[in-house]
Amino acid sequence: MNQTEMLSISTFSKMSDVPRKTLIYYDRIGLFKPAFVADNGYRYYYRSQLDTIGMIHVFKEFGMSLEEIREHLSHRTPASTLEFLRKQEEVIQLQIARLERIGQMISMRAENIEHSIHVNTSYMQVIRQSRVPVLLSCRVHASKKQFPEDLWDDFQLRLQRENAPIGYPNGVIVKKEDLLKKDGDMVSHMFSRIETHFHEQEYMPEGFYLVSYTRADYGDTDKIYPQIFDYMEKKQYVVIGDAYEEYLQDEVSLQNPEEYLVRVMVHIKEPSIDEELLC
């Protein structure tokens, strides 16, 4: 065995970024053995073994135990390796989807807080909005003050199915028929702004929305609706769709629930005047 054609454990450790102690431990448990051990106990490795130690790194990142990796390597064939890698490929794709959703959640929460910092809660305005993809829960008709537990459970399962993490921003919808009765307390759905892959894609319609803000704890947002109805009557705005409630500041950024900031967007007919219209 020509040792000059092989890598010492120190050299192999530097090239593979695996500590010497780890390489020795891998050898002892039969996970990854050197190509040659000299009479003096020095370990030597083929350069090609860098490929194997690299895959062990990857397998560990998949969350595999050392015993699982050892079992695979000790019985590896092209066919078994191909099957194994395809399975891990599926795991990676799920992890990527999960990380993308986490990134969306972080961006959305940051944008909500950034937008909310200079909000004037005494001011209402009309905006024109493009169609927004949303995920909806099952439909109910329940008071915000007696929020149904099964609605929350249903929606969390739907978010999980979409690989959305716990804490993904969500809101509630008040239906048009309740708004026409001047009732802002009854909830029909929970929703999140998200493009769906496993559920039917729903949308917050394109159009004009009267936007209002208030400070309120969960379940107390009905207190803003009398002001909204009075303002709409004064401006002669016509309700043509639902109201969408979303918290821009919540427990993530505030310690006092009474200071949570909620945005209410009511879908209205295009105003005949545009003195307050923002595009």
- For the stretch 66-91, pLDDT in tens is 999 998 888 889 998 899 889 888 88
Closest CA to 186 of 195, 194, 177: 177
Find tokens 């967007």 and name the residue.
265
Q: Is the pLDDT of residue 270 over 90?
A: yes
SS3 277: strand
Closest CA to 276 of 103, 128, 73: 128
DSSP structural state of residue 243: E
Q: 194 near 155, Cβ under 8 Å?
A: no
Determine the angle formed by the axes of helices 9-16 and 20-28, rounding to 10 degrees: 110
**Residue 70: how many CB atoms within 10 A of its CB?**
17
Classify the C-alpha dihedral 206-212-213-216 as positive or negative.
negative
Task: Show the domains of the chain with their CATH numbers.
Answer: 3-76 (1.10.1660.10), 100-278 (3.20.80.10)
- For the stretch 152-192, pLDDT in tens is 999 999 999 999 999 999 999 999 999 999 999 999 999 99
pTM of the predicted protein model:
0.77
